């Protein structure tokens, strides 16, 4: 997969790409990520990427020329790449959107800034607009990194264990079940006995129950979209599964 990120802060982007899953994916050749400095495609000595808006509003607007020139230079168009503008006007980013983007061979992310971008960028240059949430950020660099990180986890081989990726929160439209590790007791707080039983079927039922309950309590919007099976309904009606007799005994 190829990803190009168009930004006015390339150092910011590169710093965020060096670590963890994304850094390993780049080093191991699962993805080619290039940072494109929009200021390299300006035509004045100040390397200006913005200007005052027509109509007399306050603030600055990103100009279309540097963006169009950068896209032309890397050879990207709406015909051969997914070109995404990070924008508060875009659809909300989700695991489903990440899965859709992960299927692209070539993805271009344009980091918005200031009061927005020239409307002609939206109308003529991009294929998608994405927002990572209803709040104000300084620019589109953080959203671009968030989108990139989420996509990397979905590429075959990147995590090493695809079962891990398929079990993560939101992959099945639900939150993840509670997780525990050593020590078994800390400060008097104990690990649920069922997880120590060795009974994998009982553990699976316990985890499914807590996924359902946690999603219903914390994300009712997700829960309402679930297609519950008869087993799911039975689990919710019966309550938390009890710890069985340990297979180890």
| pLDDT in 10s for each residue of the chain, 249 residues | 999 999 999 999 999 999 999 999 999 999 999 999 999 999 999 999 999 999 988 899 999 999 999 999 999 999 999 999 999 999 999 999 999 999 999 999 999 997 899 999 999 999 999 999 999 999 999 999 999 999 999 999 999 765 455 555 565 789 999 999 999 999 999 999 999 999 999 999 999 999 999 999 999 999 999 999 999 999 999 999 998 865 444
How far apart CA 125 and CA 3 sit, in angstroms, is 16
Q: DSSP letter at 195?
A: G
pLDDT of 201: 95
C-alpha 129/C-alpha 76 separation (Å) is 16
Structure pTM? 0.86
Where are the extended beta strands (E) located within 181-233? Answer: 185-186, 189-190
The CA-to-CA distance between both ends of the chain, in Å, stands at: 50
Structure-block tokens of residue 36:
């494109």
Q: Look at residue 244 in the predicted model and tell me its pLDDT.
A: 85
Residue ranges, CATH 3.40.1280.10, the chain:
2-162
Phi-psi region of 23 (alpha: psi -120 to 50; beta: other; left: phi over 0): alpha
Measure the CA–CA gap between 210 and 202, rounded to whole angstroms.
Answer: 12
Tell me what pLDDT residue 54 has.
94
Q: What are phi and psi of 121, to 5 degrees?
A: -65, -50
Whose CA is closest to 128, among 144, 114, 113? 144
Q: Phi and psi for 3 in degrees, rounded to 5?
A: -130, 125
Determine the pLDDT at residue 249: 44
CATH architecture of the domain 2-162 equals: 3-Layer(aba) Sandwich (3.40)
Contact 119, 65 (CB under 8 A): no
The answer to whether the beta carbons of residues 89 and 112 sit under 8 Å apart is: no
CATH of 172-238, one of 1.10.1270.20, 3.40.50.720, 3.40.50.11810, 2.70.70.10: 1.10.1270.20
- Measured between alpha carbons, how far is 94 from 55 in angstroms, rounded to an integer? 35
Give the pLDDT score at 164: 53
- Residues of CATH 1.10.1270.20 domain(s) within the chain? 172-238
Measured between alpha carbons, how far is 126 from 226 in angstroms, rounded to an integer?
A: 32
């Amino acid at each position: 997969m190829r990803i190009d990120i168009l930004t006015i802060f390339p150092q910011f982007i590169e710093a965020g790409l060096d670590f963890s899953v994304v850094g390993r994916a780049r080093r191991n050749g699962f993805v080619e990520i290039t940072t494109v400095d929009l200021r390299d495609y300006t035509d004045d000595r100040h390397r200006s990427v913005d200007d005052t808006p027509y109509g007399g509003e306050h603030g600055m607007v990103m100009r279309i020329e540097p963006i169009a020139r950068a896209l032309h230079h890397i050879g990207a168009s709406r015909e051969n790449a997914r070109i995404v503008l990070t924008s508060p006007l875009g659809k909300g980013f989700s695991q489903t959107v990440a899965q859709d983007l992960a299927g692209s061979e070539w993805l271009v992310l344009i980091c918005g800034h200031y009061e927005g971008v020239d409307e002609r960028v939206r109308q003529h240059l991009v294929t998608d607009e994405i927002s990572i949430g209803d709040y104000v950020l300084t620019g589109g660099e953080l959203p671009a990194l968030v989108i990139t990180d989420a996509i990397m986890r979905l590429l075959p081989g990147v995590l090493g264990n695809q079962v891990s990726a398929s079990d993560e929160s939101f992959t099945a439209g639900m939150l993840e079940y509670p997780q525990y590790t050593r020590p078994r007791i800390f400060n008097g707080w104990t690990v649920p006995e069922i997880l120590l039983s060795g009974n994998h079927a009982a553990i699976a039922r316990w985890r499914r129950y807590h996924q359902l309950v946690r999603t219903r309590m914390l994300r009712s919007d997700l829960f309402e979209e679930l297609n519950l099976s008869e087993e799911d309904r039975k689990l919710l009606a019966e309550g938390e599964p009890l710890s069985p007799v340990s297979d180890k005994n």
